[in-house]
Chain A
Amino acid sequence: MEPDCKRRKMEEPADPPWEALLVLPELESREVELTPAYAAPVLLRTETSRLVRELSAARPLTELPHLKRVQARGGTQLLEVLLCPAGPSPGASRTLAELLPDGRVDVRGLGEPFLVQVPARAPLTRPQFEEAARHWPTAFHENKRTSQALAGRLFTLQDKAAMEARMEHAVWAARRGAELGMVPAGAAVVDPATGRVLAVGHDCRNGLHPLLHAAMVCVDLVACGQGGGTYSYRDYPACSFLPPLPGDGLPYICTGYDLYLTREPCVMCAMALVHSRIQRVFYGVSSPHGALGTGYRLHGRQDLNHRYEVFRGVLEGPCRRLGQEPGAR
């Protein structure tokens, strides 16, 4: 066994080190949305703090609370102050008297108002913040974990070694499936609290049932381990599960569990993982109709009743090669 193993290692090209990259949900990944607002130059600097005070009382930025009131124009000394949102159909040129009609703001020291595009929402990530701040000064409450994850610093070397070992189960299953004529995709479910690998499976769409993609197989295997489940994997010995430990109590299907997938799942599988209450998904390579980063980002939608975290790039090299190995399709 060992010499064979060593020989294999020598023949295979060395993979570059992989990174587990956070796949941001839709809200965190979308481009900064802009909305028009009126601003005006401050002609008398000494009036600035009075103007800000009066504007904040008379025209509070209730819809745009993330915006700062004042900006220094392009690194100059010239200050500009935000007056109010412009609404859906802003008029091109409005006077101060039109915009601040009730006399609660003394317009002394203000120049002619102008339209400006400002960020419509509070930034959720550092890239969004940097983009937003190019338009108007914006407050940003940084989520440390997200920033760490985006910078690839969330996982220690020890974490990554464990992740690699778990993904190797999925890669192994994908190869066993491919030997039986299945699509070469594999999956493994792990309880991160104990490190136990609870289910290992491969794609069975060419065999048992056309909807049994690797992720669906693994969810069904976990359900089997909990006394439920729908299919029998007798003919597919690489698809297996461990029953939960006696003292564990039964979680609801995949609550608290991690899923390792050699490739990004499709819409059906990604939504099945919402239904199964998975905690985190790690996948190796993206797929053309993937639903966790490529086409959709189904994992972090506020409108669905469960959300999970997604990381891509785990053990990317071997996962990528699965589609190219002899016998694979």
Chain B
Amino acid sequence: MAHNDVPIGAVIVDAQGEIIGCGRNERELRGDPLAHAEIVALQAAATTRGSWRFDDCTLVVTLEPCAMCAGAMSQARLARVVFGAFDAKAGAVTSVFDVVRDPRLPHRLEVVAGIEELACVRVLKEFFAVARTENELPK
């Protein structure tokens, strides 16, 4: 990856299993602190569909979403979220909060957690290991 963004990826799949939008974390690339993979994928899916109805769709993402993305998925009224690695520090779908299954909020999603967890964790670990070595190189 040319830019220094943490490698997190998301896809949105419709009821037929067709991918209608995908995104990766582009905070650094775009200079936008809100360009998380889930938000980018939602933007792409909205363009594909030409509408903002996702109640038949599933969002699949490598890392547990934060509260912003969980709130966005709830706003977008997705049916389901599937994620790989848990985020103990900021995860908002199980770990720190459970925004998408909160009975106080107007829309709730089905959750499938820990799918291909090891593979998702490995991608992140490799990225951070490389980042560390690069920082340690002699000047």
Contact = CB atoms under 8 A, between A and B. Distances in A.
Contacts of B52: 210
A211 B75 contact: yes
B44 to A, nearest CB: 12
A42 interface: no
B39 A289 contact: no
A219 interface: yes
A90 interface: no
Interface residues of B, number: 31
B35 interface: yes
A187 interface: no
Given A253-B33, A289-B106, A303 B89 contact: yes
Contacts of B39: 211
B50 interface: no
B34 interface: yes
B75 A219 contact: no
Interface SS, B side: loop
A223 B99 contact: no
A316 interface: no
Interface in A275-297: 275-277, 289, 291, 295-296
A229 interface: yes
Contacts of B71: 266-271, 291
Nearest to A273: B68
Interface string A196-239: 00000000000001110000100110010011111000000000
A272 interface: yes
Nearest to A253: B33
Interface string B95-117: 01101001011100000000000
Contacts, number: 92
A189 interface: no
A228 B105 contact: no
Contact of B46 (A209, A227, A296): A209
Contacts of B17: none
A178 B94 CA distance: 37
A229 B105 contact: no
Contacts of A211: 39, 42, 72, 75-76
A304 interface: yes
B134 interface: no
Residue in B34, B66, B69, B70 whose Cβ sees the most chain A Cβ within 10 Å: B34
A169 B70 CA distance: 30
A230 B30 contact: yes
A211 B52 CA distance: 10
B99 A226 contact: no
A288 to B, nearest CB: 9
Contacts of B89: 303-305
A230 B104 contact: no
A303 B96 contact: yes
B92 interface: yes
Contacts of B62: none
B31 A228 contact: yes
B30 A228 contact: yes
Interface string A69-98: 000000000000000000000000000000
B70 A275 contact: no
B90 interface: yes
Interface in B39-77: 39, 42-43, 46, 52, 66-72, 74-76
Contacts of A230: 30, 32, 34-35
Contacts of B43: 209
Interface in A251-272: 252-253, 266-272
A215 B83 CA distance: 27
Contacts of A227: 31
A266 B46 contact: no
A298 interface: yes
A267 B99 contact: yes
Contacts of B97: 296
Contact of B68 (A228, A252, A271, A301): A271
Nearest to B107: A289
Nearest to A226: B31
Contacts of A298: 67
Nearest to B31: A228
A271 B67 contact: yes
